[in-house]
């Protein structure tokens, strides 16, 4: 329903003179109405069942009933009630019964001048009601999804944790068995081979379990980010925040044989920051930078005050992103190609979560990349004066 578009009116009026007067006004004033006229409650009921109308205009007394019958059968279609002079009390009753508005007839038919205003108000109100209804339904849907994901992830986390402990123990036994057997003289080669395979499989299962946990936690984070409309922010130095995050990745980078550098701005760069959420943003970007950069590559984190914004840039010398994929990667569950990732895992949710948290900071996130040479993700936040 759009008030700029043609409005479909159902006029329920058994007085032919009043019918014609109303249709004449619509024509003369070139009102954007498409009007259908009926004379009885039964005819109105049949038409309302068969078709959608934006508004019903109804006279009070009708051959087989009255306006109250029309209000009853109109259900979700707004009804405007036309009364005779001196019947305001009736109009009030009609409004209480569900009519949206009323027009009072006068002999000179001046009331028809009010028609467009009353109809427009009625449409605006209906539109606002529909929007409120949609928002309420959307809230219910989201709450249900959030509840479902919370329950499911809780149910999944418990066995996952026990799997984790079990696998850890089996893995350590396999390690010991392997070391013991490797030192045993005259061992049949098939036996060492089997233990080697056991060790590889259990370590792979540990990785898979970790990935599953990551996907569950990303799904929960996504629901949380979706439902949040504002963040609690404090004035915080981005140099300090980025330093903390980078420190948490030094070991992983070393294990991956990658160089991880941190280039802070020369002086503190203050921005309004929700510390937990912005840390997650930088973690997601660093996870990716490490994940999509081969051994020997370099990842650098740079904090900068451009004068217009506080910036954190995470650049890597990894595999890069094809031009045509640059916008897609921020969509939920979007992964360019599973085989591209070193870990061969991930939920495809990381960047959409990061973007949502950055937007709730009033900031932006953008990407530059040359395929085969590397990528650079930049987060820009509003500055706070020092
Ligand atoms: P995923 O869990 O798959 O990493 P993301 O939402 O974090 O999901 O990223 C979406 C896709 O964007 C990834 O599948 C990957 O192909 C691409 N991508 C993200 N960061 C980088 C990067 N630093 N280098 C290359 N590709 C990247």
The preferred substitution site among 351, 354, 374 for testing ligand 1, maximizing ligand atoms within 8 Å of CB, is 351
| Cα angle 197-203-207, degrees, rounded to a multiple of 5 | 140
Residue that is written with structure tokens 């006029």 in the block: 11
CA pair distance 28, 232, nearest whole angstrom: 57
| Cα angle 103-95-11, degrees, rounded to a multiple of 5 | 45
Give the residue from 90, 80, 79, 86 showing the smallest Cα distance to 105.
86
Query: What pTM was estimated for this model as a whole?
Result: 0.64
Long-range interactions of 133-138: CB distance < 8 A, separation 24+: none
CA 155 – ligand 1 centroid, Å: 28
Give the residue from 318, 324, 312 showing the smallest Cα distance to 366.
312
The preferred substitution site among 282, 292, 332 for testing ligand 1, maximizing ligand atoms within 8 Å of CB, is 292
Sign of CA dihedral 128, 134, 138, 141: positive
CA 349 – ligand 1 centroid, Å: 9
Question: What does DSSP say about strands 33-38 and 7-12: parallel, antiparallel, or unpaired?
Answer: parallel
* Protein residue with least CA distance to atom 21, ligand 1: 288
Q: Which two tokens stand for residue 226?
A: 């979706």
Give me the pLDDT at residue 20, please: 92
* Protein residue with least CA distance to atom 3, ligand 1: 348
Q: Which two tokens stand for residue 153?
A: 């992830």
CA 336 – ligand 1 centroid, Å: 7
CA 83 – ligand 1 centroid, Å: 66
**Which DSSP string do the residues of 17-69 spell out, in sequence order?**
HHHHHHHHHHHHTT-SEEEEEE-SHHHHHHHHHHS--SEEEEESEETTEEHHH
Show pLDDT as tens, one digit a residue, over the chain (386 residues): 444 589 999 999 999 999 999 999 999 989 999 999 999 999 999 999 999 999 999 999 998 999 999 999 998 899 999 987 677 788 889 999 999 999 988 877 778 888 999 999 999 999 999 999 999 998 898 788 878 877 887 788 888 899 999 999 998 888 888 888 888 888 888 888 888 898 889 888 988 898 888 888 888 888 888 878 899 999 999 999 999 999 999 999 999 999 999 999 999 999 999 999 999 999 999 999 999 999 999 999 999 999 999 999 999 999 999 999 988 999 988 877 766 665 556 778 999 999 999 999 999 999 999 999 999 999 999 998 66
CA pair distance 14, 63, nearest whole angstrom: 7
CA 331 – ligand 1 centroid, Å: 11
CA 250 – ligand 1 centroid, Å: 20
* Protein residue with least CA distance to atom 20, ligand 1: 288
* Protein residue with least CA distance to atom 18, ligand 1: 288
The preferred substitution site among 213, 335, 377 for testing ligand 1, maximizing ligand atoms within 8 Å of CB, is 335
Could you give phi then psi for residue 262, rounded to 5 degrees?
-120, 125
CA 329 – ligand 1 centroid, Å: 7
* Protein residue with least CA distance to atom 12, ligand 1: 329
**In the 8-state DSSP scheme, what is residue 77?**
S
Q: Are 289 and 257 in contact (CB under 8 A)?
A: no
Kindly give the number of the ligand 1 atom that is closest to the alpha carbon of 289. Answer: 23
Give me the pLDDT at residue 3, please: 46
Q: Which residues contact 282 (CB under 8 A, 6 or more apart)?
A: 241, 242, 245, 301, 312, 314, 379
CA 225 – ligand 1 centroid, Å: 19
* Protein residue with least CA distance to atom 14, ligand 1: 335
Question: What does DSSP say about strands 270-273 and 298-305: parallel, antiparallel, or unpaired?
Answer: unpaired
Give me the pLDDT at residue 13, please: 94
Q: Which residues contact 31 (CB under 8 A, 6 or more apart)?
A: 25, 115, 116, 119
Give me the pLDDT at residue 175, please: 87
CA 299 – ligand 1 centroid, Å: 15
Long-range interactions of 78-82: CB distance < 8 A, separation 24+: 78/54, 78/122, 78/123, 78/125, 78/126, 79/55, 80/55, 80/56, 80/118, 80/119, 80/122, 82/13, 82/18, 82/57, 82/58, 82/111
CA 342 – ligand 1 centroid, Å: 11
* Protein residue with least CA distance to atom 23, ligand 1: 289
**In the 8-state DSSP scheme, what is residue 103?**
E
Give me the pLDDT at residue 2, please: 46
**Which DSSP string do the residues of 310-378 spell out, in sequence order?**
EEEEEEE-SS---GGGTTGGGSTT--S-GGGSSS----S-HHHHHHHHHHHTT-EEEEEEETTTEEEEE
> If residue 99 lies in a helix (H) or strand (E), which one and from where to where?
none
CB under 6 Å to ligand 1: residues? 284, 288-289, 292, 316, 318-321, 329, 334-336, 340, 346-352, 375
**Which DSSP string do the residues of 111-143 spell out, in sequence order?**
GGGGHHHHHHHHHHHHHHHHHHHHHHHHHHHHH
Q: List C-alpha distances in Å: 190 to 174, 179, 181, 182, 366.
A: 15, 15, 11, 12, 53
């Amino acid at each position: 329903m759009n008030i700029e578009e043609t409005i479909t009116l159902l006029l329920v009026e058994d007085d032919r003179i009043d019918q014609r007067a109303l249709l004449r006004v619509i024509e003369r004033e070139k009102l954007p109405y498409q009007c259908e006229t009926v004379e009885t409650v039964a005819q109105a009921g049949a038409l309302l069942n068969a078709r959608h109308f934006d508004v019903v205009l109804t006279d009070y007394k009708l051959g087989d009933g009255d306006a109250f019958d029309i209000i009853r059968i109109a259900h979700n279609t707004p009804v405007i009630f036309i009364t005779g002079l001196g019947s305001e009390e009736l109009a009030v009753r009609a409004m209480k019964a569900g009519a949206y508005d009323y027009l009072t007839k006068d002999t000179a038919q001046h009331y028809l001048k009010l028609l467009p205003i009353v109809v427009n108000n009625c449409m605006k109100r209906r539109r606002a009601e529909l929007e409120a209804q949609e928002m309420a339904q959307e809230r219910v849907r989201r709450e249900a999804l959030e509840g479902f994901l919370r329950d499911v992830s809780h149910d999944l986390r418990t066995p996952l944790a026990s799997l984790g402990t079990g696998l850890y123990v089996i893995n350590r036994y396999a390690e010991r068995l392997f070391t013991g057997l490797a030192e045993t003289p005259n061992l049949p080669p098939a036996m060492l081979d089997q233990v080697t395979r056991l060790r590889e499989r259990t370590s792979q299962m540990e990785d898979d379990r970790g990935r599953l946990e990551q996907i569950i936690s990303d799904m929960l984070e996504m629901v949380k980010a979706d439902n949040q409309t504002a963040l609690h922010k404090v004035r915080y130095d981005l140099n300090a925040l980025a330093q903390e995050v980078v420190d948490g990745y030094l070991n992983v980078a070393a294990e991956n044989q990658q160089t991880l550098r941190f280039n802070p701005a020369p002086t503190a760069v203050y921005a309004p920051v929700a510390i937990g959420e912005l840390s997650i943003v930088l973690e997601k970007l660093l996870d990716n930078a490490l994940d999509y950069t081969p051994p020997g590559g370099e990842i650098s984190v740079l904090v900068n005050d451009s004068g217009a914004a506080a910036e954190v840039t995470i650049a890597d010398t990894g595999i890069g992103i094809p031009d045509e994929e640059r916008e897609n990667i921020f969509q939920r569950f979007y992964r360019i190609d599973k085989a591209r990732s070193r870990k061969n895992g991930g939920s495809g949710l990381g960047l959409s979560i990061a973007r949502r948290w950055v937007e709730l900071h009033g900031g932006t996130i953008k990407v530059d990349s040359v395929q085969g040479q590397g990528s650079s993700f930049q987060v820009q936040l509003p500055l706070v004066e020092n």
